[in-house]
Amino acid sequence: MPTQFSLSSRSRPSSKPKLLIVEDEEAILHGLKDLFTFNGYEVDSRSDGKEGLECALSGGHDGVILDVMLPTMDGFTICEEIRKSTRELPIIMLTAKQSEEDIINGLTLGADDYIAKPFSVRELVLRVDSVLRRAGIDKNQRELRINDDLTIDLDNLVSVSSDSDGKSHSDTNGKNDRKILFTRREIDLLLFLKKNQHRPSSRTELLAEVWGYKKNADIDTRTVDIHIAKLRKKIETTPKKPNLLLTIRGEGYKLAN
């Protein structure tokens, strides 16, 4: 569908989320600024890659919309640099291509979601809204235990190990003898699967419950599958033959009991 900037009435809480838009096409940038301002966001914008990265790293934003093709620094590099500094800041990538390689590259570097140009404005606003919402993490929960060998520190988004005295600390795990770093979205996904470990969860359910999409939303995305693949590379001994994060044919995904 064409990229059209038509405004519609929406309700939001009084506290405005702050959004950074990094896009070098002037017409699209101004249209996005108007669109999200109308929809209740406080908007910063940059049209240059390096300036966009500096602005993102300055802090104070609740999310970033990041174009892939930018002058001075491309969106993939910006995403990678942001993730070196923080794994909390939500990122949606805009791409002129819908190739599998571009999508996987962006999500592998730490983007929370992607949307291809030309895009539906309604879908873009929905997906930005969704990425900025959390899946309802229990703030009192400090650790997530996947199995005897892997526990995750939910405050620092990193794997931990236990000494003989039972105390947990950030350390290496048995998979690759290295510390595992997670993004907040990966943790959201693992928490939901752990909570529902007794049954498989479908892609549609995961998009609704973890990403916050409306259950009847007509959205074409491989975000769930790519996040599952990323997690398998991190937590499985043999990602192509998983024994922790399972695919249940025709039903979805589940964590092994």
**Residue pLDDT, tens place only, 212-224:** 777 666 666 788 9
**Which among 47, 59, 58, 51 is positioned nearest to 22, based on CA atoms?**
47
Could you tell me the pTM of the whole model? 0.67
Return the top range by mean pLDDT from 9-23, 50-64, 152-166, 174-188: 50-64
**Residue pLDDT, tens place only, 95-126:** 876 677 777 888 888 898 888 888 888 888 88
Burial tier of 36 (Cβ tally within 10 Å: 0-12, 13-18, 19+): buried
Burial tier of 92 (Cβ tally within 10 Å: 0-12, 13-18, 19+): buried
Determine phi and psi for 126, rounding to 5 degrees: -60, -45
Domains and CATH numbers, the chain: 18-132 (3.40.50.2300), 143-255 (1.10.10.10)
CB-based contacts of 158: which residues, under 8 Å, 6+ apart? 152, 170, 179, 180, 181, 182
Residue 236, Cβ neighbours under 10 Å: how many? 15
- Would you call 34 helix, strand, or coil by DSSP? helix
- Would you call 151 helix, strand, or coil by DSSP? strand
